[in-house]
Structure formats: C-alpha cells, structure tokens
Amino acid sequence: MEKINQNLMNVDYESLKEIWKQECLVITLAYTPTCGTCHVAKKMLQVIKAAMPDLNMTQINLNYYGDMAIDLEIMSVPCIMIHKKGKCVEKIYAFESVPFLYKKITSYL
C-alpha cells in the first residue's frame, strides 16, 4: 500500500507569495517550532491533508520571517491562513477540532 504524504510543504516568504497568487485554495500554517499549540495545529492539518491529498498546504516558520508576521498582521501563532485567488480570505487562531477546521477549509472549495 502506498503511503500518503501528509507533510505540509515548508516554504520561505518569497515562495509563499508566489504560491498564494495561484487561483487554487492554499492553506498556510504560520508557526514557531517551540510552540506546543503549533504542533497540535500541524497534526490537525495533517489529518485534513490525508483526507484531501490534492489540497495545497504549506507551512512557514515565523522565527525566520518576522517581516511576514508584520506584513500580514499575524497576531499570534499558530495561525492558519486560507488564501483563495491570491487573497487571504480568513485567518484562524483557534482550532476547536479537526471537523471544525475541515468544515472551514471546505467551505472555500
């Protein structure tokens, strides 16, 4: 049986700007490695990625891209950003459950 890649693609800020310009839906996790809640958010997104393997999911370590946090007015980590057609349509800071996130994400499909 083939293993499904559930990893979120690590990107830098410049690459992320290009990815966001795509017409498709892009989910981005802004995180820091020492944040425990960030690890939980990542695991939740990996479950969704397993259910929707074609969904574009990225992650970026804000320790290296503080300018991004300022530019996008990210208030805290973890932050899940939903981009559609090049625009951030929603930022999510509270992750109630996998079904909650799945419903939020699929509402933009």
Q: What is the 3-state secondary structure (H, E, C) of 57-71?
A: EEEEECCCCHHHHHH
Taking the alpha carbons at both ends of the chain, their separation in whole angstroms is 29
List the CATH number of the domain containing 80: 3.40.30.10
Three-state SS at 83? strand
Instruction: Give domain status of residue 79, yes or no.
Output: yes
Binned average pLDDT, 10 residues per bin, the chain of 109 residues = 65 94 94 96 96 95 95 96 95 95 96
Instruction: Give domain status of residue 30, yes or no.
Output: yes
Distance CA 41, CA 32 (A): 11
Q: What's this model's pTM, rounded to 2 decimal places?
A: 0.92
Q: Token pair for residue 78?
A: 């973890």
Instruction: Give domain status of residue 29, yes or no.
Output: yes
Distance CA 59, CA 61 (A): 7
Instruction: Give domain status of residue 108, yes or no.
Output: no
Structure confidence at residue 5 (pLDDT): 52
Distance CA 2, CA 5 (A): 9
Secondary element (H or E) of residue 9: strand 9-10
Structure confidence at residue 7 (pLDDT): 84
